[in-house]
A = this chain, B = another copy of it.
Amino acid sequence: MKMESPAAPDLTRAAAAFAALGSEQRLSVLRTLVRAGPEGLSIGTLGDRAGVTGSTLTHHVKILASAGLVTQARQGRSIICAAVAFDEVQTLSDFLLTECCADTETPHG
């Protein structure tokens, strides 16, 4: 049942992705992008909607992007950001849960 997914995360990458989500501002930014859907938003609009602007927003978006949760592409004089959290969150969840109970002694009874 394994579907084509973003790169399998190692511990370091998974922790970095969770850490990227672990800030109220960044989580708010990402949810704004999730709401906006695949078309994405410019940095300016994103900042207005999420309530974070300027260099602070640049900083947070960079962290989300390097965690693989957001893409950025220049379009004219704006940078369009879009969430790619959809698959990524499933991947992170899998990373955490797949080995569930692997250490238990009596898997077959």
Residues of chain A at interface, number, CB under 8 A = 41
Identical chains bound together, number: 2
- CB pair A22–B16 under 8 Å, yes or no, is yes
Given contacts A89-B93, A89-B97, contact A14 B35 (CB under 8 A): no
Question: CB-CB < 8 A to A15: which residues of B?
Answer: 21-24, 26-27
- CB pair A97–B19 under 8 Å, yes or no, is no
Interface majority SS (helix, strand, loop, mixed), chain A: helix
A48 at the interface (CB under 8 A from B): no
- Can you report 16 A-B residue pairs in the complex whose CB atoms are below 8 A from each other? A15-B22, A15-B23, A15-B24, A18-B19, A21-B22, A31-B96, A31-B99, A34-B97, A34-B99, A34-B101, A35-B99, A35-B102, A37-B101, A37-B103, A85-B97, A89-B96
